[in-house]
Amino acid sequence: MREMIKLENLSKSFAGLEVIKNISFTLSEGEVLSIIGPSGSGKSTMLRIITQLERADNGTLSVDGMTMFRSVDGKAVYSKPEELRKIGLKMGLVFQSFNLFPHFSVLRNITEAQRAVLKRDKAEAEDKAMNLLKKMGIADKANQYPFQLSGGQQQRVSIARALALDPEMLFFDEPTSALDPELTREILKVIRELAEEKMTMAVVTHEMHFARAISDYAIFMDKGVIAEEGAPDELFGNPKEERTRKFIASFEE
């Protein structure tokens, strides 16, 4: 199976505090990886490093056979900018806070990066955007602005914007944490549909039942390390580590 992400011994510190300690995992084409764990365990930082929003201190990361960075004498050495750009185009990231441009319409939020990054012309970019908005069930919102949308609708625009660049992988950083339960269900449905289409994904989430149902593999992070990992039924149904059990149980109370 084609290996899309191979992460080895990733480490990262902020102001002398080590927030990620020697983390390793692989993600293959078409797989869904769920990443769970308490706030501050390093989950979001790890996604930000993979998607080039943060720099690693040490470790090695290969993306679809290309090296983003590798460990040399205890430090992460990054590849050249043109290689990093190629790698970046393979990935999309959906944030918990939507990160839409408030002064752009929904349509322009989705076309802007297509035109700037992929050099698509206006008509092609708008055609791609409208097809994605139809897929998300919000084609009628194309000319509205983010403030006119519900949180769930804004998040669907964010997902459409990520998909517009034709990534081979999608990363979700707690995509439902800013939403109420009804809107959360909307977004989880969209992610489930993407999983059914065999989109390669890594999802940081607190939605335990969803993570168990959708994942091919699951990781529990705590205090910057992978405390436990394995098949979803094992990790969620019969965790071996006490701290994993306590964390999962806290969502069932």
User: pLDDT tens for residues 207-247?
Assistant: 999 999 999 999 999 999 999 999 999 999 999 999 999 99
152, 183 Cβ separation under 8 angstroms: yes
CB neighbours of residue 223 within 10 Å: 15
Position 178 confidence tier, pLDDT thresholds 50, 70, 90: confident
Tokens standing for 222? 């705590």
Tell me what pLDDT residue 95 has: 86
Token duo for residue 68: 């983003």
pLDDT band at 182 (very low <50, low <70, confident <90, very high): confident
Which amino acid is residue 150, in one-letter code? S
Task: Choose among 32, 62, 16: nearest CA to 219.
Answer: 32
Strand partners, 200: 169
Q: Which of 187, 152, 182, 193 is closest to 172 using CA atoms?
A: 187
Q: pLDDT value at position 253?
A: 53
- pLDDT-based confidence at 22, cuts 50/70/90? very high
pLDDT-based confidence at residue 191 (cuts at 50, 70, 90): very high
pLDDT tens-digit readout, 131-156: 999 999 999 999 999 999 999 999 99
pLDDT of residue 166: 95
Tell me, what's the pLDDT at 1?
Answer: 83
% the chain with pLDDT above 70: 99
| pLDDT range class, residue 12, cuts 50, 70, 90 | very high
Mean pLDDT, residues 84-111: 93
Q: Confidence band (pLDDT; 50, 70, 90) for 167? A: very high
Instruction: Identify any residues that bridge with 17 across adjacent strands, giving them in sequence order.
Output: 14
**Would you state the pLDDT for residue 234?**
95
Query: What percent of the chain is modeled with pLDDT above 90?
Result: 88
Contacts of residue 38, defined as CB under 8 A and 6 or more positions apart, other chains included, come to 222, 247
